[in-house]
């Protein structure tokens, strides 16, 4: 178990280091128009593209870090064992219990991603003029995606089990 934990930490650290280095490189060099492209794109437009990309990727990097922390707590912190034991104690049929086991994980993951999605949509996208979505439409999209995800997961998981 310890070697898997260390391997997971190393992989996550490497992935986040590469993302951080990419963001740093973009921040330093992202506004320089490559040779031969000067007549196609201005440095002002390229600067705006860089700033937008940096803002989006920073939110994505923080979300990814939080996802890694939650995964570590869930798998290596004992929550998975408790969660599995709780489902086992319900004594439902294997197919129903297994399907609901993964559906609840899907719901919890969606719940954790909501703040990052809200910030990305209503702060970052709005700041750069890309957001045309209202909060009501955002909520409806969330509900629709949860419904479709539930139906698809339920069908695929119950078929697999």
Distance (Å, whole) CA 136 – CA 134: 5
- The pLDDT-based confidence of 38 (bands split at 50, 70, 90) is confident
C-alpha 118: how far from chain center:
12
Residue pair 139/76 in contact by the 8 Å Cβ criterion? no
Report DSSP state, residue 120. I
Are residues 6 and 61 both part of a single domain? yes
Distance (Å, whole) CA 113 – CA 63: 7
SS3 category, 139: helix
SS3 category, 70: helix
Distance (Å, whole) CA 87 – CA 160: 18
Model pLDDT for residues 72-126, shown as the tens digit of each residue:
999 999 999 999 999 889 889 999 999 999 999 999 999 999 999 999 999 999 9
Contacts of 103 (CB under 8 A, 6+ apart): 150, 153, 154, 157
Are residues 135 and 62 both part of a single domain? no
Are residues 87 and 158 both part of a single domain? yes
Give the structural domain span for 59. Answer: 1-77
Are residues 2 and 66 both part of a single domain? yes
pTM of the predicted model, to two decimals? 0.84
Are residues 72 and 105 both part of a single domain? no
């Amino acid at each position: 178990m310890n070697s898997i934990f260390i391997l997971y930490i190393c992989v996550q650290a490497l992935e986040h280091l590469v993302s951080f280095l990419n963001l740093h490189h973009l921040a330093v060099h992202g506004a320089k128009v490559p040779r031969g492209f000067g007549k196609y794109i201005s440095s002002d437009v390229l600067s705006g593209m860089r700033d937008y990309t940096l803002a989006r990727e920073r939110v994505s990097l923080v979300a990814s870090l939080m996802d890694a922390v939650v995964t570590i707590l869930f798998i290596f912190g004992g929550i998975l064992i408790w969660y599995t034991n709780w489902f086992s104690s319900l004594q439902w049929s294997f197919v129903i219990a297994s399907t609901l086991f993964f559906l609840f994980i899907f719901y919890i993951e969606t719940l954790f991603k909501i703040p990052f999605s809200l910030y990305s949509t209503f702060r970052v996208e709005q700041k750069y003029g890309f957001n045309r979505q209202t909060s009501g439409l955002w909520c409806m999209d969330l509900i629709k995606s949860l419904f479709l995800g539930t139906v698809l997961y339920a069908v695929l998981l119950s078929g697999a089990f």
